[in-house]
A and B are shown apart, each in its own frame.
Chain A
Amino acid sequence: MSDLWSRIEPLLAGVERPVRYIDSEWGASHTDASYRVALVYPDVYEIGMANQALQILYGRFGALEDVTPERVFVPWKDMADAMRAADVPLFTLESCRPVAECDLVGITLPYELTYQNILEALDLARVPLRASERSDSDPLVVGGGPCAFNPEPVAPFFDAILIGDGEDAVADIVAAHRSAKARGASRAETLLALARVPGVYVPSLYEPRMEDGEFRGMTALQGAPTIVRKRVLPDLDAYRAPVCTVVPFMDVVHDRVGVEVLRGCARGCRFCQAGMVYRPVRERSADSIVRDATAALQCTGYDDVSLTSLSTADHSQLEEVLRRLTRRLEGTGVTVSLPSLRVDAFSVQVARLLGGGKKTGLTFAPEAGTQRLRDVINKNVTEEDLLRTVTQAFSAGWRRVKLYFMIGLPTETDEDIAGIGELVGRVFRAAREVTPPGERGGMRVAVSVSTFVPKAHTPFQWEAQIPLEEVRRRQSVLRDSMPKKGVDLSYHDSDVSFLEGVLSRGGREIADVIEAAWRGGARFDAWTEEFRPSRWALAFEQTGIDPTSIANRSRRVDEALPWDHISAGVSRAYLRIERDNALAAQTTADCTFDGCTGCGVCGSSLVANILAGERRG
């Protein structure tokens, strides 16, 4: 077993932020089990350490008998270059051991623009990039995470990909791998055994079927399941959230301990992939949230606990949780924070309770500028809701709000775009009315506008993303309609949205593009200053793939899609109905407030919504 520290240390004096590579944090666990797991996050330390899933899996692997999980992050460019020059392979933080010496290499798929970093990590680790090139002595490379719901663009790089919740599945994967090892199974036999684990997709056992140059679906080989259904943890309260997490020395993006209060969201926004693929809604009880938040603060020493989920304000016992936590934390300087707010009065009340005297800014997401378009996307927020909420916030002393919108949504017209500017104008005037004249100079409305990217497993999975020239034209329509005074308008980079669109709905052929882009120098494209559209343009050219045919083409509803063999539980029929409802501007209610809407999740996975109490709108 080789400890690489003596070869790593001399490199540290020459790189930025050596703290990324030194381990030794509070909560890092150092064990020496016979089965080793490298948990790789495809970005730098300070991004990866803020990821809650990584902390959950670190805890889950560590709790297994005779298993040592170790963390791995992609070294920043300076360190990666120094490592290559000094012939030092990618190492795990805890034991400074080569990643290639681990039994299993788990790689998170958090965001499409980190895909090229998977190759950077594998290459630095000296593990063959493609599953087909790996031998019996190479570690098993397993993916998982939000982007696994369309795994095809990265499928050739993985031996297996877990679809859905990892809490229980990791034990099954380790058990299958171990027993295959024990009976001296070949790599191919091991993969067959893994394909029998519920939720595990083994890409090499699926072959794209092509007819007349058109993709017709996947053929499952050697008895692999035709459809891989996601794993679902039926009840979040059945296990304890990790409370003694690893506490970084470095200031990371979210410098706080997170306690997950619920998983899933049934609001049914039709553009939102997370809202479709993480169903059903599973709330944790107030008691376990308060217990875990208290224990986590004690164990980590953080001064902020974040109650995380897709929609924390929807938790039926949020008020009780906040009351109990804020009472406990009074006078300690320790705060509670929420990742997002709903557009309603309750949220302003909550923000008041949490912020103490601080009124830094509130963020809301109306997403579209007209009621018609908000109905199309099923964003159940009215203009009245928004004006009332903002008025309440400014009456309570806030002087800044941030509003999120999208352009390029299905059926959008120039009128809808101009509607964003008009809505912002009305928000500003309403806020102004309740702001004392002397303080009006400090009022700001930040408007952040992104381009809609259609995602797999949503009612909009068949839609065309608007082409780049059209994005620019619509941005200029928006600029013309936007009030200038007191408004800060910003856009999400349209080239980034375009690439996201290609990487999120592409098929297996996209793997060649990712590899070509990485070979051309693409690393850390999720970092604005590192992203070079030209590298990707060249990669598309080299591989002969037309990215617009993936991003900007609308699909027939009966067309085979690259992710049809992956099931998130929501039926294709439901997505089609929801698409028809969208086009008719018909809204669909949230099943945690009203009745079942028939999405199919509860039936197909034998799970159900779990609410800790009664939800209030």
Chain B
Amino acid sequence: MGETTFRLRVRYRKADRLRYLSHLEVVHSCERAARRAGLPYAVTQGFSPHMKLAFGPALPVGTAGLGEYLDLWLRSYVPSEDAFEALRGASAAGLAPVMVKYVAEREPSLGSVLSIAKYEVVLEGGEALQEGLTSSFSAIIAEGVLAVDHKGKQKVFELASTLPKEPDVSTSGERTTVGLTVRIGERGSLRPEALVTAALTRGALDGRIASVTRTELLVEEDGSWRDPL
């Protein structure tokens, strides 16, 4: 390309009703928001020029995200506060920027650096569910592996590496919340619902998953975790 571009990293949320968007719908919606915002976005060269932007790991339909990421390349520098305001003004409330910051062109891609995901799974059920889930998680982790069937394929996860932290289960009234930290693997990552469902089945527990939210995405570097912004 040869042209100087500015790489704007956007932390955004996909929440409320808009958690029902698919990843592709999120991509197209963010592109439209960037055009509405009037930002001087860079365009790829070739037969079918399109906006230059890159996303972090996809969220499934129905899962909310409070700290998701995308990188958007601009042809000219726009102060980050102005870019943020422009994007916010052009976005629906449920799919909106939270914070923006320029990052260096040489930084590796979001897809390759975002390796830790934190989730919150909310279930319908009180204290009994909390106790049952806690012991089920311990038993599953003690086994070391979890086999998950997804769309007719079986994937086996090594839990020592997939779950860098023990699940955290808490209850408030008739709601139980499971906090999960999952390491995103090179060949796909463990869906939090899969682990929670396995725990429910194992303990023969009664609990319906009410919502799944990815609360944070982090970069793992030399054994420690940091914010990608």
Contact = CB atoms under 8 A, between A and B. Distances in A.
B20 interface: yes
B90 A22 contact: no
A59 B210 CA distance: 37
B31 A301 contact: yes
B40 to A, nearest CB: 10
A25 B35 contact: no
Given A12-B20, A249-B18, A26 B51 contact: no
Interface string A186-213: 0000000000000000000000000000
Given A24-B16, A249-B18, A298-B38, A358 B33 contact: no
B47 A333 contact: no
B32 A300 contact: yes
Given A18-B20, A251-B28, A356 B36 contact: no
Interface in B16-36: 16-18, 20-22, 24-25, 28-29, 31-36
Contact of B36 (A12, A250, A255, A301): A301
Contacts of A332: 35, 43
A24 B17 CA distance: 8
A193 B48 CA distance: 55
Interface in A284-309: 297-303
A4 to B, nearest CB: 13
Interface residues of B, number: 32
B35 A249 contact: no
A23 interface: yes
A331 interface: yes
A351 to B, nearest CB: 15
A544 interface: no
Contacts of A24: 16-18, 92-94
B121 to A, nearest CB: 14
A85 interface: no
A331 B43 CA distance: 7
A358 B17 CA distance: 37
B90 to A, nearest CB: 7
A303 B48 contact: no
Contacts of A25: 92
Contacts of B46: 357
Contacts of B93: 24
A38 interface: no
A515 to B, nearest CB: 34
A249 B21 contact: yes
Contacts of B32: 26, 247, 300-303
B49 interface: yes
Given A13-B62, A299-B36, A332-B43, A22 B31 contact: no
A18 B62 contact: yes
Interface string A239-260: 0000000010111000100000
A301 B90 contact: yes
Contact of B61 (A18, A331, A356, A357): A18
Contacts of B95: 249
A67 interface: no
A303 B46 CA distance: 16
Contacts of B36: 26, 298-301
Contacts of A297: 35
B50 interface: yes
A251 B24 contact: yes
Nearest to B49: A333
A229 B48 CA distance: 48
A358 B31 CA distance: 21
Nearest to B50: A333
Interface string B41-56: 0011011111100000
Contacts, number: 76
Interface string B93-104: 111000000000
Contacts of A250: 25
Nearest to A22: B17
Contact of A249 (B25, B47, B50): B25
A358 B50 CA distance: 13
A557 interface: no
Interface residues of A, number: 28
B35 A334 contact: yes
Given A251-B28, A302-B32, A358-B48, A333 B38 contact: no
Given A13-B62, A19-B20, A301-B35, A356 B47 contact: yes
Given A25-B92, A301-B34, A303-B35, A333 B18 contact: no
Contacts of B17: 22-24
Nearest to A299: B36
Nearest to A247: B32
A16 to B, nearest CB: 10
A26 B25 contact: no
Nearest to A24: B17
Contacts of A249: 18, 21, 25, 28-29, 95
A358 to B, nearest CB: 6
A333 B21 CA distance: 24
A301 B20 CA distance: 21
A249 B38 CA distance: 19
Nearest to A18: B20
Nearest to A250: B25
Contact of B31 (A13, A251, A303): A303
A22 B94 CA distance: 11
A574 B71 CA distance: 62
Interface string B106-125: 00000000000000000000
B21 A19 contact: yes
A242 to B, nearest CB: 16
Interface string A148-176: 00000000000000000000000000000
Nearest to B48: A358
B33 A301 contact: yes
Interface string A375-405: 0000000000000000000000000000000
Contacts of A302: 32, 35
21 contacts: A12-B62, A13-B62, A24-B16, A24-B92, A25-B92, A26-B90, A26-B92, A249-B29, A251-B28, A255-B28, A300-B36, A301-B31, A301-B32, A301-B36, A303-B31, A303-B35, A332-B43, A333-B43, A333-B49, A356-B49, A357-B46
Interface of B: 16-18, 20-22, 24-25, 28-29, 31-36, 38, 43-44, 46-51, 61-62, 90, 92-95
3 closest residue pairs by CB, A with B: A301-B32, A301-B36, A301-B35
Given A24-B18, A249-B29, 12 more contacts: A18-B20, A19-B22, A24-B93, A250-B25, A251-B25, A303-B31, A331-B43, A332-B35, A356-B47, A357-B46, A357-B47, A358-B47
